[in-house]
Structure 1
């Protein structure tokens, strides 16, 4: 049963699941690296870290111990357009979980010593990210295709920007963004109505702002970007402009992704890994934002196989552009998507996330019945029309990371 209401002018959505023993509570905020200026890059993620360092009532140790002592799980993450903090606890400890979670998110202390220590932690995280070929290739790709727009910024920021953060800068950014208008609270699990009284008490002093941040829609930039680095394999990301996040088209896009490279029975996995043995890792994935999107393919292979792998991917893009997917493919992956969603909704974490993201960005909650009915209504031509719109070989953005130089990829051209 869905419950949707306003509490202290904050959007709250909840789904009661009396057959489980726990509850997930998430605080979603419409703030991420896309909302940053260049000199602020990484500040959304840094504040996410600082929230865990202590509030005006609790130290970082207090926060950790109080949740650990009740067997709970507490975490957070930052993306390009949102930040989320969440806690999972046994149903008997809901009030304690809300007290800790809301205290740390809405009353962070930002101690100078903690800021300096956390800079070192985040810089290590940036270094670790740069040691991951997939993460590095993706960040490079974003910097290329969204160049000139804040969507191109890495979520973690850079070592230079992180070093520049100070207390005043963090507090100003926090006050501008951790406001009622940017918040959605999402709850899933076993709870009673007293949870709403607790939320009302803990959000009474959250500030409001009538100043709305307007984001500039990015332009797509095709091209090739290369970074020579000592990795065992060559890692390549190939991307095309796609669609924004919307209920209307997101499930057709999911079918396209699953059919093309999203799983073990997809075209790319079967042809490039299973039939030819040219890669260990290959997959596609869609990225959807409030006003745009990208459809990306990642592969990791040897320098000897890189050209062949790229040519097969290119040929498959051509094939979809010209012929689309067969009715059998669409029917198979349509059913796969439907079953996957039904199983995901048994998971309270997935349920909390889907509701939170939907209300934050679409301003509406779509029930499981709404979603399943939408998937059932998708026609073969809906999928193929969208696929032919997205699959455009002349708009490729390509990033390559590995022990390779420009001369060795002289054959690679954007057509």
Structure 2
């Protein structure tokens, strides 16, 4: 088949709006309500975003948001954990609660005919959790086991060490997960109720609660049901974000580990998502997609395929509310670490100097990001998540469509400017090598 024809078809698909009809309204009680009408399938998803996560936690509270979200679906004043699970299963649906560094979510997905019932269950969890003591202890065991198991995964050991050195111990992104084991063990039922009261309410000024409905229900009905079950949630005064200023310095850390292989990781402080520095943010997203992106990425092609230096390599640059980080990593034979460092530095310098990542590369990277974007929006739940994500981090729900358009506007000169700015700044390099017997 003609490649030009394929490209035109893909490009046409990419330019079709994913959302048929999206509306936003600030409800009378301060909740931000977003509705995406998608009548293509008789399914509906509801995602609630809350400004609650690690960036709001002090050292003494580290891990409490994660624990709370793990337990909040384990019982309410009206339903036991078993009843919640049975009711959702009887509707053929799913329910979940998650916590991240910057925000937390509650979500449910069901057939659209069960929308009212699903929101009833979700609101009961939101407003009436009981945090059963036995469930708290179970989740503590699970969370602590997950944290301790990080020492057996070489990537986790490397990234924990890198973020600690990049941000410092007083920054929420820099605190090591293992340090939260002591605090998690101490959290009581009372502590969870106190934390829940601080965040599970509406601060009208800070717009801390976003509810997204996406699927086969019309706007008026969706709004009616949300108001029916969420009109009585209390007002709160949201806590401030807890963090220290990031002042990185060039640092090289060599650590002996119990693994047989070696690991190399580079980290750079990078732009947070902000309307005032979109060019830097978007340019680095393109650079990251060029370097990483699996088998088609420059790191994989050059370090693994051409030079056989490593068994895995990639890069990532997460979208975060506070200063983010761009990370390059590779797993390899520890005897080849010195060679690998020279080759990584070579790639970085070539990008800065414009020797690689040209106009054609940039066009290809943009197409790759657009394709992944479409795939990430296939379901109502995914669409609801993205609308809520952009809203809760301050960019507005409609940036989900604008994001791709803004990426298209980034020029090769902007990419090179940002590459020089980021990769010439102080960096942290982590080298993991086996302990010698």
Q: Does the TM-score normalized on the shorter chain lie above 0.5?
A: yes
When residues 233 and 52 of structure 1 are mapped into structure 2, their CA distance, relative to the original with a 3 A threshold, is farther
Residue deviations 1:354-379, cap 9 Å, x none?
11111101252225553343223222
Residue deviations 1:263-312, cap 9 Å, x none?
32221110011112222221100023223111001211121222222221
The residue that corresponds to 2:23 in the other structure is 3
When residues 311 and 102 of structure 1 are mapped into structure 2, their CA distance, relative to the original with a 3 A threshold, is farther
Which of 359, 368, 374 aligns to 2:406? It is 374
Moved over 6 A (4+): none
The residue that corresponds to 1:150 in the other structure is 172
Between 1:167-176 and 1:372-381, the stretch displaced more is 372-381
Partner secondary structure for residue 74 of structure 2: coil
The residue that corresponds to 1:185 in the other structure is 211
Partner secondary structure for residue 186 of structure 1: strand
Structure 1 residue 17 corresponds to structure 2 residue 49: no
| Alpha-carbon separation, structure 2, partners of 1:187 and 1:129 | 36
Structure 1 residue 206 corresponds to structure 2 residue 236: no
| Alpha-carbon separation, structure 2, partners of 1:156 and 1:81 | 19
The residue that corresponds to 1:35 in the other structure is 56
Residue deviations 1:33-53, cap 9 Å, x none?
121111111001010111022
| Alpha-carbon separation, structure 1, partners of 2:179 and 2:112 | 37
Q: CA deviation at 1:131?
A: 2.4
The residue that corresponds to 2:144 in the other structure is 123
Equivalent positions of 1:156-305 (< 5 A) are 158-181=180-203, 182-192=208-218, 193-222=220-249, 223-246=251-274, 248-249=278-279, 250-305=281-336
Does the CA contact (< 8 Å) of 1:261 and 1:267 recur in 2? yes
Partner secondary structure for residue 231 of structure 1: coil
RMSD, matched Cα: 2.3
Partner secondary structure for residue 270 of structure 1: helix
The residue that corresponds to 1:408 in the other structure is none
Q: CA deviation at 1:215?
A: 4.0
Q: CA deviation at 1:187?
A: 2.3
The residue that corresponds to 2:66 in the other structure is 45
Residue deviations 1:132-191, cap 9 Å, x none?
222232222222111132231256862211111112222112211222132111222222
The residue that corresponds to 1:333 in the other structure is 365
The residue that corresponds to 1:410 in the other structure is none
Does the CA contact (< 8 Å) of 1:358 and 1:365 recur in 2? yes
- What stretches of structure 1 of length at least 5 have no aligned partner? 406-415
When residues 224 and 83 of structure 1 are mapped into structure 2, their CA distance, relative to the original with a 3 A threshold, is farther
Between 1:228-237 and 1:2-11, the stretch displaced more is 228-237
The residue that corresponds to 2:15 in the other structure is none
| Alpha-carbon separation, structure 2, partners of 1:154 and 1:108 | 29
Residue deviations 1:78-101, cap 9 Å, x none?
211111121121222212221222
Does the CA contact (< 8 Å) of 1:242 and 1:292 recur in 2? yes
Partner secondary structure for residue 25 of structure 1: strand
Does the CA contact (< 8 Å) of 2:212 and 2:384 recur in 1? yes
When residues 251 and 135 of structure 1 are mapped into structure 2, their CA distance, relative to the original with a 3 A threshold, is same
Q: CA deviation at 1:114?
A: 2.4
- What stretches of structure 2 of length at least 5 have no aligned partner? 1-20
When residues 382 and 199 of structure 1 are mapped into structure 2, their CA distance, relative to the original with a 3 A threshold, is same
Between 1:83-92 and 1:149-158, the stretch displaced more is 149-158
Between 1:72-81 and 1:148-157, the stretch displaced more is 148-157
When residues 198 and 114 of structure 1 are mapped into structure 2, their CA distance, relative to the original with a 3 A threshold, is same
Does the CA contact (< 8 Å) of 1:142 and 1:152 recur in 2? yes
Partner secondary structure for residue 97 of structure 2: strand
Between 1:315-324 and 1:353-362, the stretch displaced more is 315-324
Does the CA contact (< 8 Å) of 2:96 and 2:108 recur in 1? yes
Partner secondary structure for residue 152 of structure 1: coil
When residues 178 and 129 of structure 1 are mapped into structure 2, their CA distance, relative to the original with a 3 A threshold, is farther
When residues 154 and 95 of structure 1 are mapped into structure 2, their CA distance, relative to the original with a 3 A threshold, is farther
When residues 227 and 83 of structure 1 are mapped into structure 2, their CA distance, relative to the original with a 3 A threshold, is farther
Partner secondary structure for residue 75 of structure 2: coil
Q: CA deviation at 1:401?
A: 4.2
